[in-house]
Amino acid sequence: MGSGLVVAGFFLILVIVTISLGVRIVPQGNKHVVQRLGKYSKTLNPGLNIIIPYMDKVAYKVITKDIVLDIPSQEVITKDNAVIITNAVAYINILFPDKAVYGVDDYEAAIKTLVQTSLRSIVGEMDLDEALSNRNLIRTRLKDAISDDISDWGIALKTVEIQDINPSPTMQAAMEEQAAAERKRRATVTRAEGDKSAAILQAEGRVEASRRDGEAQIVLAKASQLAIEKVTSAIQDKELPMLYLLGEKYIEALKNVSTSQNSKVVVLPADLPAAVKGIIGALK
């Protein structure tokens, strides 16, 4: 009786273990690769699945959601022998888990290496300025370069993005020195052009001022000539008007001398009319 219970208990445990081995629940966003006696048998989709106990085995559990692969930074030499540091990020999706696990040993490591190699090749065909300013072109060419290769592994490349692409510290220091020298050169040229323009404007101003002074002197000379002609015509041989005009000018001149700060003594002739007549006689 006791041995019968032991056998019954053993078979009960065996049945439970067998059922547990034959029933597989796959979470959403995952797929399981089943091997039968060491050979690929089938792929289990999300949900409840039945396999043959003791013969079938879940060998790989594959995530079918989009996977983000961070591509490590690396130094790349451009076409003009400049060194830049660049890294990227790739988004992949596993369409056929059996191809992904049997087509390559480690698909994540393989894709990272493939992206790095392709990135070095693409950037190596560009000049430094072209590489720094054409991220979209690099991204497009990189995606085209690796999409066909990883499709053989049952993997789709959703997109690849260039995170950073910067000159190396040594190259960056050289570029900063070059930029500083260029800014200094432009400042020197601008300052020289400004000095040249200022000198030209000053010279033109002096020429214009001289021309205006000359015109003013001509106008004053003509006015003086006209005034003398009119005075001469009006006075003719009469001494009294001439005596009056010269006396008026003489008095005005003495007045200006007397009000000057440098003048201390003003000498007036005793016979002012006689002095004026003497001047008229001298003029004649």
Residues 104 and 160 both lie in one domain:
yes
Residues 44 and 78 both lie in one domain:
no
**What average pLDDT score do residues 110-122 get?**
91
Residues 58 and 72 both lie in one domain:
no
What number of residues does the chain have? 284
Residues 57 and 76 both lie in one domain:
no
- Confidence band, pLDDT 50/70/90 cuts, at residue 236: low
pLDDT of residue 270: 47
Q: Within a domain: residue 192?
A: no
Q: Say whether 26 sits in a helix, a strand or coil.
A: strand
Q: What is the DSSP letter of 81?
A: S
**What average pLDDT score do residues 33-38 get?**
91
Structure-token match 């009294």, residue found: 240
Residues 79 and 133 both lie in one domain:
yes
Q: Within a domain: residue 276?
A: yes
Q: Last residue of some domain: 136, 152, 173?
A: 173
Residue 236, H or E segment: none
* 52: containing domain: 2-62
- Confidence band, pLDDT 50/70/90 cuts, at residue 249: low
**What average pLDDT score do residues 1-14 get?**
74
Domain count, the chain: 3
Q: Within a domain: residue 111?
A: yes
pLDDT of residue 109: 92
Q: Within a domain: residue 11?
A: yes
- pLDDT score of 181 more than 90: no
- Confidence band, pLDDT 50/70/90 cuts, at residue 218: confident
The proportion of the chain whose per-residue pLDDT surpasses 90, expressed as a percent, equals 21
Q: Say whether 228 sits in a helix, a strand or coil.
A: helix
Residues 79 and 43 both lie in one domain:
no
Q: Within a domain: residue 244?
A: yes
Q: Within a domain: residue 88?
A: yes
Q: Say whether 162 sits in a helix, a strand or coil.
A: strand
Q: Residues 6 or more apart from 67 whose CB is under 8 A from it?
A: 91, 92, 93, 94, 108
pLDDT tens digit string along 43-85? 999 999 988 888 889 999 999 999 999 999 888 888 888 888 8
Residues 55 and 82 both lie in one domain:
no
Q: Within a domain: residue 282?
A: yes
Residues 42 and 79 both lie in one domain:
no
Residues 113 and 20 both lie in one domain:
no
pTM of the model: 0.57
CA-CA distances (angstroms) from residue 119 to 14, 38, 83, 165? 56, 38, 14, 11
Q: Is 141 left (phi over 0), alpha (psi -120 to 50) or beta?
A: alpha
Q: Within a domain: residue 251?
A: yes
CATH number reported for the structural domain that contains residue 93 in this entry = 3.30.479.30
As a whole number of angstroms, the distance between CA 181 and CA 194 comes to: 20
Residues 51 and 88 both lie in one domain:
no
pLDDT tens digit string along 129-169? 888 888 889 899 999 889 888 988 999 999 898 888 888 77
